[in-house]
């Protein structure tokens, strides 16, 4: 009948076709069977079953892709079901024993690559070395139908030791040792981050230091007394990284040296005599970068490596050399190459951070000389062959020099007399002149074995106000007490006419001209006056024409500098003018003209005596970040 017909196909069976009812939450996520139900549609059913008979869900072990071993498709609907495949599995974890499983120690296995070093001055290429190390995977199999194996994760299982007649009678200690897996120490060098290559726990069991081959000093930064410096041909600044320097080559390349490290106990350092311990450390009073607020020490090469807890990688000869003081003899023959060969350096023979020796005493073993700052050198005293000087002091004696803001320190019994009538700026200058002459004289006493230097230095002193007065002229340095007596007969008065002092100095230098002597003027004032340009240029040109250039040191000496910040400009100008007439030199340690400001009597004495100081290079050094 129309509208009520039943349409039948030729098939005798029709399937449900609904999605299979298998849905489950597993260790690897949600699972949903994508097959269709094969139950005849005319049969009443609540669970739709597909054609699969077995459990299709993956084994729960992360690295396994095999199917569950169950032959029941709806196995997942049972309670507390795990879908293990029935096979054993490789443990996916790493060895958990203490230490590092593998470190490749052969030099050929060290990874080398070219890297770029960049700082504010530019860039350059260097070789970066990397240590090869790894923690090995666990070698134990996970038993069938288990998530993990018993015991800890290890990269190797030793065969069970069976004792025989060759085994020692040590209550089984050798059995424990035999069953141990070898692991390297897990301590890194604090400078290059290379792992120690000794067995794990070597320090506790054998009380031994760490050891490694060392690499680039990635964990360090440069520090120095100077903000900018040169190291191994590269321009650097404080705070630059030490990446391009090799840990085991740093000290070798710089010779005698000191390291810098953070002070362990500033209170203890402050109680030390002169702030130092011989052969160990010297406290740094200045605030230097990086981290200038944190106090630092100079430390010896030995202490530096002791603090790393790693073996010193340098040879015995190097270690012995590094124990010695790093002060150098100032003689030019130790600084300049000769016939294309590097100069033979001459270092102080004493231990690093030693107490200063008495410059007036005989040198140890009667060999060499003692410098004025207490260092012993086994070479010839450069004071005997660097030429002789005519040192001309030109000192302002104007009325302002009577100010009591700076006074003589009277550290010498001879200078205590200054307190009575010269307890003022001029008295402080007289004391500084006295100290300078004593220092210069003593620097020339100790010479070669059995010989005494013939001291041919001479000195003159000119005081100027409205006019210039000669206190003494062409005097030897031998009788400082007599020279002090002559100074003390003059008191402050008048104004500070710079040109009068320079004119009188020119007369004195011409009067006692000696081509074998170097003329040095030390010009001091506590006030400003226009620079005597014409007088000074005339003097400098005259001496330059003779081949004996003049060296001029100018000093501003006043305790009230803060309120007269422009003072010193004329003195700086005078030093600049004199510099124009000097021969050009690439030797940074050569004599030069310069201006300095002395804020007090201590600084004044320091400036006066620096001429006689022995040279110590301010070498840059690397320290931990």
Q: Is the pLDDT of residue 563 over 50?
A: no
Write the CA distances from 204 to 207, 209, 305, 381, integer angstroms. 5, 10, 19, 52
- Residues 138 and 192 grouped into a single domain: yes
- Residues 15 and 116 grouped into a single domain: no
- Tokens representing 147 are 């998530």
**pLDDT band (50, 70, 90) for residue 201:** confident
Domain that includes residue 77, residue range: 11-86
Residues 6 or more apart in contact with residue 467 via CB below 8 angstroms: 494, 497, 500
Q: Is residue 373 part of a domain?
A: no
- Residues 578 and 463 grouped into a single domain: yes
Angle between helices 569-579 and 533-545 (to 10 degrees): 20
Q: Is the pLDDT of residue 356 over 80?
A: yes
Q: Is the pLDDT of residue 618 over 90?
A: no
- What DSSP line would sit under 122-152, residue for residue? EEEEEEEEE--EEPPBP-PEEPTT-SS-SS-
Among 59, 86, 113, the domain boundary falls at 86
- Residues 301 and 324 grouped into a single domain: yes
- Residues 54 and 152 grouped into a single domain: no
Q: Is residue 348 part of a domain?
A: yes
- Residues 179 and 226 grouped into a single domain: no
For residue 455, give the CATH number of its domain. 3.40.50.410
Q: Which residue has the higher pLDDT, 151 or 180?
A: 151
CB-count burial class (<10 Å; 0-12, 13-18, 19+) for 30: exposed
Nearest by Cα to 600 from 389, 407, 446: 407
Q: Is residue 25 part of a domain?
A: yes
Nearest by Cα to 303 from 257, 270, 347: 257
Q: Is residue 238 part of a domain?
A: yes
- Residues 261 and 338 grouped into a single domain: yes
Bridge-based pairing state of the strands 281-284 and 296-299: antiparallel
Q: Is residue 53 part of a domain?
A: yes
Q: Is residue 422 part of a domain?
A: yes
Report cis status (omega within 30 of 0) of the bond before 290.
yes
521-533 pLDDT per residue, tens = 999 998 889 999 9
Q: Is the pLDDT of residue 499 over 90?
A: yes
- Residues 229 and 266 grouped into a single domain: yes
pTM of the entire predicted model: 0.58
113-161 pLDDT per residue, tens = 899 999 999 999 999 988 888 889 998 999 999 999 998 899 888 766 6
- Residues 193 and 256 grouped into a single domain: no
Q: Is residue 213 part of a domain?
A: no
Q: What percent of the chain has pLDDT over 70?
A: 85
**pLDDT band (50, 70, 90) for residue 611:** very low
SS3 of the chain: helix, strand, coil, percent, to 5 = 25, 20, 55
β partners of residue 364: none
- Residues 569 and 444 grouped into a single domain: yes
Q: How many domains does the chain have?
A: 4
Q: What is the spatial distance between Cα 85 and Cα 4, in angstroms, rounded to a whole number?
A: 55
- Residues 419 and 513 grouped into a single domain: yes
Q: Is residue 494 part of a domain?
A: yes
- Residues 423 and 475 grouped into a single domain: yes
């Amino acid at each position: 009948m129309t509208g009520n017909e039943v349409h039948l196909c030729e098939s005798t069976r029709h399937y449900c076709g609904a999605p299979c009812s298998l849905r489950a939450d597993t260790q690897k996520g949600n699972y949903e069977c994508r097959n269709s139900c094969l139950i005849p549609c005319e049969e009443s059913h609540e669970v739709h079953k597909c054609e699969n008979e077995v459990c299709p869900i993956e084994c729960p072990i992360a690295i396994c892709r095999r199917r569950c071993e169950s032959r029941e498709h709806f196995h997942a609907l049972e309670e507390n079901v795990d879908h293990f495949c029935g096979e054993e599995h490789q443990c996916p974890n790493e060895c958990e024993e203490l230490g590092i499983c593998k470190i490749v120690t052969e030099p050929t296995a060290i990874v080398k690559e070219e890297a770029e070093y960049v700082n504010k001055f530019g860039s350059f290429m260097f070789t970066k070395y990397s240590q090869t190390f790894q923690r090995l995977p666990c070698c134990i199999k996970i038993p069938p139908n288990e998530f993990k194996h018993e015991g800890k994760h290890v990269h190797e299982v030793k065969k069970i030791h069976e004792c025989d007649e060759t085994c020692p009678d040590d209550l089984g200690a050798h059995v424990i040792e035999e069953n141990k897996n070898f692991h390297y120490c897990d301590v890194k060098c604090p400078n290059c981050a290379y792992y120690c290559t000794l067995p794990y726990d070597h320090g506790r069991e054998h009380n031994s230091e760490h050891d490694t081959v060392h690499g680039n000093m990635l964990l360090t930064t440069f520090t120095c007394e100077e903000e900018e410096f040169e190291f191994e041909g590269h321009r650097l600044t404080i705070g630059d990284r030490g990446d391009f320097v090799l840990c085991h080559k740093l000290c070798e390349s710089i010779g005698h040296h000191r390291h810098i490290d953070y002070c362990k106990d500033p209170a203890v350092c402050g109680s030390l005599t002169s702030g130092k311990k011989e052969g160990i450390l010297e406290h740094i009073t200045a605030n230097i970068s990086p981290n200038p607020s944190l106090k630092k020490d100079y430390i010896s090469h030995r202490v530096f490596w002791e603090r790393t807890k790693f073996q010193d990688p340098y040879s015995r000869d190097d270690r012995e050399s590094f124990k010695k003081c790093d002060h150098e003899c100032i003689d030019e023959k130790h600084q300049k190459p000769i016939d294309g060969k590097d100069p033979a350096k001459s270092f102080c023979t004493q231990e690093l951070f030693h107490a200063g020796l008495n410059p007036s005493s005989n040198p140890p073993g009667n060999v060499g000389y003692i410098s004025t700052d207490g260092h012993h050198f086994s070479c010839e005293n450069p004071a005997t062959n660097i030429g002789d000087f005519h040192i001309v002091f030109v000192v302002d004696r104007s009325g302002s020099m009577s100010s009591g803001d700076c006074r003589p320190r009277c550290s010498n019994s001879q200078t205590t007399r200054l307190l009575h009538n010269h307890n003022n700026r001029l008295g402080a200058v007289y004391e500084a002149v006295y100290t300078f002459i004593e220092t210069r004289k003593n620097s020339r006493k100790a010479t070669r074995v059995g010989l005494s230097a013939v001291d041919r230095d001479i000195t003159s002193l000119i005081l100027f106000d409205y006019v210039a007065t000669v206190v003494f002229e062409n005097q030897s340095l031998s009788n400082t007490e007599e020279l002090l007596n002559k100074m003390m007969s003059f008191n402050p008065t008048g104004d500070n006419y710079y040109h009068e002092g320079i004119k009188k100095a020119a007369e004195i230098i011409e009067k006692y001209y000696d081509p074998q002597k170097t003329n040095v003027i030390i010009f001091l004032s506590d006030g400003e006056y226009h620079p005597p340009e014409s007088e000074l240029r005339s003097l400098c040109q005259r001496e330059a024409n003779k081949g004996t250039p003049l060296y001029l040191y100018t000093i501003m000496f006043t305790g009230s500098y803060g309120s007269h910040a422009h003072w010193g400009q004329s003195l700086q100008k005078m030093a600049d003018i004199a510099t124009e007439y000097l021969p050009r030199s690439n030797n940074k340690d050569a004599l030069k003209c310069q201006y300095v400001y002395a804020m007090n009597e201590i600084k004044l004495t320091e400036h006066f005596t620096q001429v006689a100081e022995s040279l110590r290079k301010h070498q840059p050094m690397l320290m931990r970040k």
